[in-house]
């Protein structure tokens, strides 16, 4: 790790971005967050790895962040409240972070998810993050890894032969994503033309001038955090479920007696690891499903996480109809993968129903998806790849009101929705 400058974020020597090896050209970024909602949750760990034009590492840095609020359970990120007590706030390192990002193309795995959180963090600090040229290793992976089964960083690295080593952390993920991106670069004698244009845009892009502040970096603790016994994990109370439902705008039954389900299943986690991705997924939908993969892969998907998916969909400019289709496609993919051993047991079926309920799918809908993907069913057994039923074709190019109540409009170009909300 590079030495700190002024007690703060490490800083590379100022160099102009060129297409010559040895110049800082790409910056890989990864973050650990307290949840899925960019509005409600915060970044609690940030890591950057700077690469030259050929993908060689030139420097890296990582630190925990103190969000100023309770960071909640450590299940998803392995960070505890006591770990961030002396960590810097985002606004303290924002100026240094800009120095690392400006003039370079942003790279990351499920980058739309990370950038949605960075957008909000910069906004809380009183600045607007520019629409940076960016390359997502998750959405580009099928082009360079045609036999790739899924979208997770673990799956992509395994398919590319890139080691994913070290303790769970943002820096471990950033290093792995940088290595994965390096394999993409190595497959071509020259850069793809859009990436050359990205470099030129990055050189010209104007970033906000943020005052530099001294701060002390807070690396993640050496010891591994151990998750609590799943049997001791508290489930959502009926009262909390009603509050969450009200927040999400979902009608809650007044006579709810049982808590909403939490998915805490090794079966579901294994199915997620094996499930294929659809080649027709748009970038925002891939980012959304990638976040859902991570939420399910830790073997705990709570009702609270599920309602925060609505905020994430809004941040990624995914309309409600597209979100619902993504949920059906996701459960269909899990069901198809569950049939790999030619059976879906009662316990497995209950797990799939629980996932469906958290994603606002009825038990009847989930049973239909299970039956539809049965190996001997007509059109069944084929994994959900290629069978996407995206509804974006229902819209013509133009401006649309934000469906989640945010001010302004979103632009649809005929294929994709803009990531940012625009003023009306």
What mean pLDDT do residues 62-91 have?
84
Q: Quick one: what percent of the chain has pLDDT higher than 70?
A: 66
Phi, psi for residue 396 in degrees, rounded to 5? -90, 160
Cα four-point dihedral sign 325, 328, 334, 339? negative
pLDDT at 89: 95
Phi, psi for residue 107 in degrees, rounded to 5? -130, 145
Burial of 229 (0-12, 13-18, 19+ CB in 10 A): exposed
Q: For 24-204, CATH number?
A: 3.30.420.10
Residue 396: count other Cβ atoms within 10 Å of its Cβ.
8
CA 178-184-190 angle, to 5 degrees, is 120
pLDDT at 1: 34
What mean pLDDT do residues 224-242 have?
42
Q: Please say if the pLDDT value at position 288 is more than 70.
A: yes
Q: What's the chain's Rg over C-alpha atoms?
A: 21
Q: What ranges do the domains of the chain cover?
A: 24-204, 230-412
What mean pLDDT do residues 75-102 have?
88
- The span from the CA of 229 to the CA of 72, in Å, is 17
What mean pLDDT do residues 277-292 have?
75
pLDDT at 159: 87
- The span from the CA of 371 to the CA of 273, in Å, is 21
Average pLDDT over all residues of the chain: 75
- Residue 319 pLDDT class (50, 70, 90 cuts): confident
pLDDT at 3: 34
The answer to whether the pTM exceeds 0.75 is: no
Q: What is the 3-state secondary structure (H, E, C) of 378-415?
A: CCCCCCCCCCCCCCHHHCCCEEEECCCCCCCEEEECCC
Q: Using one digit for the tens of pLDDT, what is the confidence trace for 248-276?
A: 444 444 444 445 556 666 777 677 766 66
Report yes or no: 33 and 41 within 8 Å, Cβ to Cβ.
yes
More confident residue, 18 or 324: 324
- Residue 338 pLDDT class (50, 70, 90 cuts): confident
Which DSSP helix (H) or strand (E) runs through 64? strand 57-64
Number of C-alpha atoms within 13 angstroms, CB side, residue 241? 20
Q: Please say if the pLDDT value at position 85 is more than 70.
A: yes
**47-61, 151-165, 242-256, 304-318: which has the minimum mean pLDDT?**
242-256
pLDDT at 392: 38
What mean pLDDT do residues 138-159 have?
83
Phi, psi for residue 63 in degrees, rounded to 5? -155, 150
pLDDT at 123: 93
Q: Using one digit for the tens of pLDDT, what is the confidence trace for 7-66?
A: 444 444 333 334 445 789 999 999 998 888 888 889 999 999 999 988 999 999 999 999
């Amino acid at each position: 790790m590079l030495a700190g400058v002024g007690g703060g974020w490490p800083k590379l020597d100022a160099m102009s971005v060129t297409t010559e090896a040895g110049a800082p050209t790409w910056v890989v970024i990864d973050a650990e967050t307290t949840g899925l909602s960019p509005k409600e949750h915060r970044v609690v760990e940030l890591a950057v790895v700077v690469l030259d034009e050929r993908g060689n590492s030139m420097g890296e840095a990582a630190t925990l962040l103190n969000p100023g609020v309770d960071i909640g359970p450590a299940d998803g990120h392995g960070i505890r409240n006591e770990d961030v007590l002396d960590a810097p706030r985002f606004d303290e390192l924002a100026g240094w972070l800009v120095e690392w990002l400006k003039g370079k193309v942003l790279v990351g795995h499920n980058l739309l998810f990370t950038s949605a959180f960075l957008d909000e963090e910069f906004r809380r600090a009183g600045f607007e993050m520019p629409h940076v040229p960016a390359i997502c290793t998750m959405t580009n992976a099928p082009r360079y890894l045609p036999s790739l089964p899924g979208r997770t960083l673990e799956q992509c690295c395994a398919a590319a032969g890139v080691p994913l080593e070290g303790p769970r952390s943002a820096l471990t993920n950033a290093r792995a994503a940088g290595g994965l991106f390096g394999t993409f670069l190595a497959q071509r004698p020259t850069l793809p033309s859009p990436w050359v244009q990205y470099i030129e845009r990055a050189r010209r892009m104007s970033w906000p001038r943020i005052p530099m502040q001294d701060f002390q970096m807070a690396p993640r603790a050496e010891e591994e955090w151990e998750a609590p016994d799943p049997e001791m994990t508290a489930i959502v109370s009926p009262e909390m479920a009603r509050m969450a439902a009200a927040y999400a705008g979902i009608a809650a039954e007044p006579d709810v007696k049982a808590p909403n389900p939490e998915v805490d299943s090794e079966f579901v986690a294994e199915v997620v690891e094996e499930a294929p991705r659809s080649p027709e997924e748009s970038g925002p939908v891939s980012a959304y499903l990638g976040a859902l993969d991570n939420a399910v892969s830790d073997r705990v998907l709570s009702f609270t996480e599920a309602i925060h998916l609505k905020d994430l969909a809004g941040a990624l400019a995914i309309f409600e109809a597209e979100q619902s289709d993504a949920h059906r496609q996701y459960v269909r993919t899990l069901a198809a993968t569950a049939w790999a051993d030619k059976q879906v047991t009662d316990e497995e079926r209950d797990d799939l129903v629980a996932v469906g309920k958290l994603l606002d799918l009825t038990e009847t809908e989930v049973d239909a998806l299970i039956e539809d993907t049965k190996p001997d069913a007509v059109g069944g057994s084929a994994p959900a790849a290629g069978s996407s039923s995206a509804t974006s074709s229902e819209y013509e190019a133009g401006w649309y009101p934000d469906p989640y109540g945010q001010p302004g409009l979103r632009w649809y170009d005929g294929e994709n929705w803009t990531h940012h909300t625009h003023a009306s």
